[in-house]
């Protein structure tokens, strides 16, 4: 269950803007992200696992409702639903629903806070769990988060969130064992 929750996350990067413009830094990115409304996007997740010969690809829909509700509805290769709200993670697979209290799994909670903190532009929350580095520009950025806690670092080496403006485009999770997950998002098909 923890492995399924981890690929939900990662962040941004940046350089200073043109002379006379406001600086492009983590606080500027957080301010931009704080103005992002709720949303619904399609996703493709590619997991590269050392125990498999080829990557595992899944597709579905992600839903975000501020301040703390995230939903991941996988449609292919098989239906699965992850819903995070407050301190609860609800997993539904094969018609079976299980609920976890995130406070009992600090590593998972730290990962989820990386996502929620990014989506609401909460730098203080992110810095409770990660060192932050920003690369790129407002039009094409990467926020790189490296876990501060040793327990989390045993699972995840970095979470890299990429985007443009106030839109997150991809979340890459680099795990300590060398496995990785890349989630790319696109607006829903009309």
pLDDT one-digit tens code per residue, 116-169: 889 889 999 999 999 999 999 999 999 999 999 888 888 899 999 999 999 899
Query: 33-62, pLDDT tens digit by residue?
Result: 988 778 899 999 999 999 999 999 999 999
- From residue 91, alpha-carbon distances to 21, 74, 140, 174 in Å are 45, 11, 33, 23
Q: Is the pLDDT of residue 15 over 70?
A: no
Q: Determine what percent of the chain is predicted with pLDDT higher than 70.
A: 87
In sign, the C-alpha dihedral spanning 70, 71, 74, 79 is: positive
Domains of the chain: 2-186 (2.50.20.10)
Give Cβ neighbours of residue 70 (< 8 Å, ≥ 6 apart): 8, 62, 63, 64, 82, 83, 84, 85, 112, 115, 116, 119
Percent of the chain with pLDDT strictly greater than 90: 61
Of 63-67, 96-100, 105-109, 116-120, minimum mean pLDDT range: 105-109
At 150 the pLDDT is 86
pLDDT of residue 21: 62
The residue among 10 and 2 whose pLDDT is bigger is 2
- Mapped onto helix, strand or coil, the DSSP state of residue 33 is helix
The helix/strand/coil state of 188 is: coil
42 three-state secondary structure: strand
Strands 96-101, 130-137: pairing kind: unpaired
Residue 17's pLDDT band (cuts 50, 70, 90):
very low
pTM strictly above 0.85 = no
Q: Is the pLDDT of residue 106 over 50?
A: yes
In this structure, of 12-21, 58-67, 72-81, 128-137, the range with the lowest mean pLDDT score is 12-21
């Amino acid at each position: 269950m923890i492995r399924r929750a981890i690929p939900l996350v990662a962040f941004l990067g940046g350089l200073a803007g043109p002379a006379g413009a406001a600086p492009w830094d983590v606080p500027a990115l957080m301010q931009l992200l704080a103005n992002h409304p709720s949303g619904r996007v399609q996703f493709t997740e590619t997991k590269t696992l050392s125990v498999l010969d080829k990557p595992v690809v899944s597709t579905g829909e992600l839903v975000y409702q501020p301040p703390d509700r995230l939903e991941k509805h996988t449609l292919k290769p098989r239906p699965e639903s992850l819903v995070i709200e407050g301190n609860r993670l609800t997993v539904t697979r094969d018609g079976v629903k299980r609920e976890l209290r995130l406070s009992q799994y600090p590593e998972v909670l730290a990962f989820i806070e990386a996502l929620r903190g990014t989506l609401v532009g909460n730098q203080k929350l992110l810095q409770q769990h990660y060192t932050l580095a920003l690369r790129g520009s407002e039009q094409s950025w990467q926020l790189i988060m490296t876990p501060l806690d040793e327990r989390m670092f045993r699972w995840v080496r970095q979470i890299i969130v990429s985007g443009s403006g106030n839109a997150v485009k991809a979340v890459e999770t680099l795990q300590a064992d060398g496995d990785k997950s890349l989630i790319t998002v696109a607006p829903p098909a009309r």
